[in-house]
Amino acid sequence: MQYHTKEMSNKVFIFDLDGVIVDTAKYHYLAWKNLANELGFEFTEKQNEQLKGVSRVRSLEILLNLGKVELSEDKKRTLLNEKNQEYLEYVHKMTSDEILPGIQVALNFLDDNNIKYALGSASKNAPLILKKVGLFDRFTAIVDGNDVSKAKPDPEVFLIAAKKLNKTPNYCIVIEDARAGIQAANNAQMTSVGIGDKKVLSQANYILDNTEMFTVDFIKKLIA
């Protein structure tokens, strides 16, 4: 169903990937957990929260800190590669069934109303994941870990996405599930929508418990 207003056509959306479009966080967790076990310590799901929205290199630093393990730069590079290979094995098995609830309906609504949207993710595997779940061609622009030099909460990823969408930040609405992502959106002076824990995402302009709450009615409210 089309829903046209002049204001509406001016707004654009920028989606994070993990925890917003799909949940690959579980695969990251399994790969990091196996790596920690290999290094001789436990890594819990609660500790894994610290890795959300963080680059691969920084994630390894946090993990090694937690395990009080010191390694050479060469060994770190080897482990990063090993972790990524295991993660990719999970990714290659992904299908459209892994798109989070409500997201297909939301994207259909945006498409029907010619509202552009981009991806803004720290993941270097973002294009592959989107291809696996059948969404790659739907996005006007894809900005991933290969395009940025600064990690969230630096706003770089979202500012590049805005540029690719030909919009200034005040017209951009960012959908995120990580504190660093919300901070990045706010630092870019964009509207931020957090999906997840209200305490963690307290700095967001809007907070939804889950992706199912990212409804057509909510989108209409955002762009009104």
Write out the chain's pLDDT in tens, 224 residues: 554 444 456 999 999 999 999 998 899 999 999 999 999 999 999 999 888 777 789 999 999 999 999 999 999 999 999 999 999 999 999 999 999 999 999 999 999 999 999 999 988 899 999 999 999 999 999 999 899 999 899 999 999 999 999 999 999 999 999 999 999 999 999 999 999 999 999 999 999 999 999 999 999 999 98
Q: Which residues are CB-contacts of 208 (< 8 A; sequence separation ≥ 6)?
A: 193, 194, 195, 214, 218
**Cα(127)–Cα(171) distance, rounded to whole angstroms?**
25
Tell which residue, 38, 87, 86, 85, has the closest CA to residue 63. Answer: 38
Q: Check residue 123 and give its pLDDT.
A: 87
Out of 16, 137, 197, 209, the active site residue is 16
Q: What are the backbone angles phi and psi of residue 45, rounded to the nearest 5°?
A: -65, -35
Out of 18, 97, 112, 147, the active site residue is 18
**Cα(142)–Cα(118) distance, rounded to whole angstroms?**
6
**Cα(192)–Cα(210) distance, rounded to whole angstroms?**
15
Phi-psi region of 168 (alpha: psi -120 to 50; beta: other; left: phi over 0): beta
SS3 of 15, please? strand
Q: Check residue 9 and give its pLDDT.
A: 61
Q: Check residue 8 and give its pLDDT.
A: 53
Q: What are the backbone angles phi and psi of residue 195, rounded to the nearest 5°?
A: -120, 110
Q: Check residue 2 and give its pLDDT.
A: 53
Are the C-beta atoms of 14 and 144 separated by less than 8 Å? Answer: no
User: Which amino acid belongs to residue 87?
Assistant: Y
- Whole-angstrom distance between the N-terminal and C-terminal Cα of the chain? 16
The residue ranges of DSSP E strands in 29-123, in sequence order, are 117-120
16 is catalytic: yes
Class of domain 6-23+96-223: alpha beta
Domain covering 25-91 assigned CATH 1.10.150.240 in the classification:
yes
**Cα(148)–Cα(171) distance, rounded to whole angstroms?**
21
- The C-alpha angle with vertex 16 and arms to 104 and 173, in degrees rounded to 5, equals 85
Q: Kindly report the three-state secondary structure assignment for every residue of 134-181.
A: CCHHHCCEEECCCCCCCCCCCCHHHHHHHHHCCCCHHHEEEEECCHHH
Q: Is the pTM of this model over 0.95?
A: no
Domain ranges of the chain: 6-23+96-223, 25-91
97 is catalytic: no
